[in-house]
Structure 1
Amino acid sequence: MDTNTKIYIAGHRGMVGSAVWRVLEKKGYTNLVGKTSKELDLKDQVAVVAFLEKEKPAVVIDAAARVGGILANNDFPYQFLMENMQIQNNLIDSSLKAGIEKFIFLGSSCIYPKFAPQPLKEEYLLTDSLEPTNEWYALAKITGVKACQAIRKQFNKDYVSLMPTNLYGHFDNFDLQTSHVLPAMIRKFHEAKENNNSDVVLWGSGTPMREFLFVDDMAEAVVYALENELPEYLYNVGSGKDITIKELAETIQKVTGHQGQIVWDAEKPDGTPRKLMDVSKMKDIGWQYSTELKEGIEQTYAWFLENIENFKEVKM
Structure 2
Amino acid sequence: MTTSTTSAAVEVTAVHRRYGGSNGFEAVRGVSFDVRRGELFALLGTNGAGKTSTMELVAGFSRPQRGTVRVLGHDAFAERPAVRPRLGIMLQEGGFPADLTVAETATMWAGTLTDARPVAEALDLVDLAHRSAVRVRQLSGGERRRLDLALAVLGRPEVLLLDEPTTGLDPESRRNAWQMIRNLLADGATVLLTTHYLHEAQELADRLAIMHQGTIVAAGSPAEIVAGHPARIVFRLPDGAGLEALPMLPGLRADSDDAGPGRAVTIRTDALQHTLTELLLWARRHDVELAALEARPASLEEAFLAVADDENPAEARG
For normalisation by structure 2, the TM-score amounts to 0.30
Q: Which has the higher helix share?
A: 1
How high is the TM-score relative to the length of structure 1?
Answer: 0.30
Question: In proportion to residue count, which structure has more strand?
Answer: 2
